[in-house]
């Protein structure tokens, strides 16, 4: 499955949602996750994310390994999101920032 990592936090552009053929994105306050059992590994979401937050599980950078479990866990708790919406107001400011894990709203 594909995994949403750190760069999405406080941005949530949702371009990924628009292209996913199986609607497997789930939405938190300032982050999106992918349900690992629903993702069909099509790869459509990876290139459209403006923050480059999405990776195939096998290519997830080592410092973001924890996001694999976070996607699995949070996708079972958060509501599905099937349509693109406006990014968060602070998205442009946080787009280039990394190490946002402490700011993830659970
Ligand atoms: Fe959806 Fe495809 Fe991305 Fe999986 S890889 S989340 S199926 S767009
Ligand atoms: Fe997040 Fe990128 Fe989607 S910022 S909401 S993973 S397009």
- Decide: 3 in ligand 1 pocket, CB within 6 A: no
Q: What is the mean pLDDT of residues 1-10?
A: 98
Q: What is the mean pLDDT of residues 4-10?
A: 98
Could you tell me if 36 and 77 are in contact, meaning their C-beta atoms sit under 8 angstroms apart?
Answer: no
Considering the domain boundaries, does residue 94 fall inside one? no
Instruction: Write the residue with the smallest CA distance to atom 8 of ligand 1.
Output: 20
Q: What is the pLDDT of residues 26-84, one digit of tens each?
A: 999 999 999 999 999 999 999 999 999 999 999 999 999 999 999 999 999 999 999 99
Cα–Cα distance for residue pair 8/98, rounded to 1 Å: 9
Considering the domain boundaries, does residue 26 fall inside one? yes
**CATH number for position 79:** 3.30.70.20
For 61, the domain range is: 2-86
User: Exposed, middle or buried by CB within 10 Å (0-12, 13-18, 19+), for 79?
Assistant: exposed
Considering the domain boundaries, does residue 14 fall inside one? yes
The pLDDT value recorded for residue 8 is 98
**Single pTM value for the model:** 0.98
The pLDDT value recorded for residue 81 is 98
Considering the domain boundaries, does residue 35 fall inside one? yes
Q: Which ligand 1 atom sits nearest the alpha carbon of residue 42? A: 2
The pLDDT value recorded for residue 98 is 87
Question: At residue 14, does pLDDT exceed 90?
Answer: yes
Q: What is the pLDDT of residues 35-50, one digit of tens each?
A: 999 999 999 999 999 9
Considering the domain boundaries, does residue 101 fall inside one? no
Split into its structural domains, the chain has a count of: 1
Cα–Cα distance for residue pair 41/74, rounded to 1 Å: 19
Considering the domain boundaries, does residue 52 fall inside one? yes
- Decide: 14 in ligand 2 pocket, CB within 6 A: yes
- Decide: 44 in ligand 1 pocket, CB within 6 A: yes
Cα–Cα distance for residue pair 60/30, rounded to 1 Å: 20
Structure token digits, residue 57: 């599980």
The angle formed by the CA atoms of residues 20, 22 and 25, to the nearest 5 degrees, is: 65
């Amino acid at each position: 499955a594909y995994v949403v990592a750190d760069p999405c936090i406080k941005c949530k552009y949702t371009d990924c949602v628009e292209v996913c053929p199986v609607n497997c994105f789930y939405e938190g306050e300032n982050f999106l996750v992918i349900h690992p059992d629903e993702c069909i590994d099509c790869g459509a979401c990876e290139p459209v994310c403006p923050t480059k937050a999405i990776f195939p599980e096998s290519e997830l950078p080592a410092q973001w390994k924890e996001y694999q479990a976070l996607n699995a866990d949070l996708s079972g708790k958060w509501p599905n999101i099937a349509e693109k919406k406006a990014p968060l107001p602070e998205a442009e400011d946080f787009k280039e920032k990394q190490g946002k894990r402490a700011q993830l709203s659970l």
